[in-house]
Amino acid sequence: MHELVRRLYPLCRSITGDGVRATLDIVGEYLPLQVREVPTGTRVLDWTVPQEWNIRDAYVADASGRRVVDFAASSLHVLGYSVPVHRTMPLSELRAHLYTLPEQPDLVPYRTSYYQPQWGFCLSQNTLDALPDGDYEVRIDSTLADGHLTYAEHVVPGQVTDEVIVSCHTCHPSLANDNLAGIAVATFLARELAEQQPYYTYRFIYAPGTVGAITWLARNRVERVKHGLVLACAGDRGPLTYKRSRRGDAEIDRVMRYVLVNSERPHSTHDFTPYGYDERQYCSPGFNLGVGSLTRTPYAAYPEYHTSGDNPDFVSADAMADTLAVCREAFAVLDRNRHYVNQSPYGEPQLGRRGLYDSLGGRSDAKEAQLAMLWVLNLSDGTHSLLDVAERSGLPFDTVGVAADALRDAGLIKA
């Protein structure tokens, strides 16, 4: 995963353009993608697909021709969606087009101007302070023209067509935690699920933030989406953070709480707010999907956020592995969580003559497994899920799931 982050880091991504396509080409080496192209001008809910932006080169050069700000060194150096410009101007005029972080003078900020035609450069405050007065050549070799918005999907088929979506944004340029780590974790999670035979169908969405998620929602049958997770900021060294869906009690919310609490990992959970990543699109009131958001340190809550400090050395391979492990554990619970009905509800059914007690012989956890069977039988009234059983009994979910499988195979419970 860390190697994938490093490969993707130099590319200049935005909400449209060749940088997004190049990103998806690389992800496509890891798993097959269905790439979608939506033309400029297409109406998507209350939005319109914008013109496509591409950039080849950009710089600010002093009188000697030395590039004091160079897009080739970092894609962060250009204001995203800058219109083309090639002029010579004094520093006093140029300053209006320069963006810095005075409170973090060593870092280059990430700035965009998607829907207002502007141009500009981002640089460190230290670099700006070192520029002498005089004339500077300014060039941004970019194009804004009719084209496409590009997003991609990878689908892991399940036993049913009900879907779990996993969404990550592909619009940020050289920012490793936000959101290349999310892309990497999603990609390797998809690879793991593809080696299994999951109950749900899992749809992985790689789309530009906001307008990309809105485009996906406008073009797809969302009634199939039963659960979902937005992945972002998945690689920093902070503790895990889960943001609940707008519903607050969606099944994914309960599953994530259960997994995080029982894993004893440091973590925090927060209620939904209509600010953040694309969970706010999936949870908009017209859709109100059961989609939560998993990050480590939340957006805007770490000093490197949206700066050049968010580089591949900032993200940790161990942290990405831990985020992947939590996703794996949560989806294992989500995928097995069912409601059952006891087919012999009047008194306790005789388990011995069905060989269910014999099947426990020699197991070190035989007593726990037997107890799990009794709990599943007692709470299988059609209103309690296996997660309810695990929470009420205090038994591990996997133990409850194994008991349910045995009881189902014996004909004692029915989904």
The ranges assigned to domains in the chain are 2-50+148-336, 52-145, 339-414
Place of tokens 């992947």: 324
Place of tokens 């592909």: 170
Q: Residues 6 or more apart from 79 whose CB is under 8 A from it?
A: 97, 99, 111, 112, 113, 118, 119, 120, 121, 122
- Provide, rounded to the nearest whole percent, the portion of the chain with pLDDT above 90: 95
Q: What is the rounded distance in angstroms from the CA atom of residue 249 to the CA atom of residue 242?
A: 13
Q: What is the rounded distance in angstroms from the CA atom of residue 281 to the CA atom of residue 212?
A: 10
Q: Identify the pLDDT of residue 360.
A: 54
Which helix or strand (DSSP H or E) is residue 90 part of? strand 85-90
Q: Residues 6 or more apart from 13 whose CB is under 8 A from it?
A: 19, 20, 23, 75, 170, 171, 172, 173
pLDDT at 19 over 90: yes
178 appears as a binding residue in the annotation: yes
Instruction: Give the distance from CA 24 to its chain's centroid.
Output: 15
- pLDDT band with cut points at 50, 70 and 90 for residue 363: low
384 appears as a binding residue in the annotation: no
Q: What is the rounded distance in angstroms from the CA atom of residue 54 to the CA atom of residue 398?
A: 50
User: What is the average pLDDT across 288-293?
Assistant: 98
One CATH from 3.50.30.90, 3.20.20.70, 3.30.1370.10, 3.40.50.300 for 52-145: 3.50.30.90
pLDDT at 359 over 80: no
Task: Classify domain 339-414 by CATH architecture.
Answer: Orthogonal Bundle (1.10)
Higher pLDDT residue, 178 or 361? Answer: 178
Q: Identify the pLDDT of residue 272.
A: 98
Q: Identify the pLDDT of residue 367.
A: 85
User: Model confidence over 227-260: pLDDT tens digits?
Assistant: 999 999 999 999 999 999 999 999 999 999 999 9
97 appears as a binding residue in the annotation: no
Q: Identify the pLDDT of residue 79.
A: 98
CATH number of 2-50+148-336: 3.40.630.10
User: What is the average pLDDT across 141-161?
Assistant: 98
pLDDT at 366 over 90: no
Q: Find residue 90's DSSP bridge partners.
A: 135
User: Model confidence over 207-230: pLDDT tens digits?
Assistant: 999 999 999 999 998 999 999 999
Domains 2-50+148-336 and 339-414 belong to one CATH topology: no
User: What is the average pLDDT across 112-133?
Assistant: 97
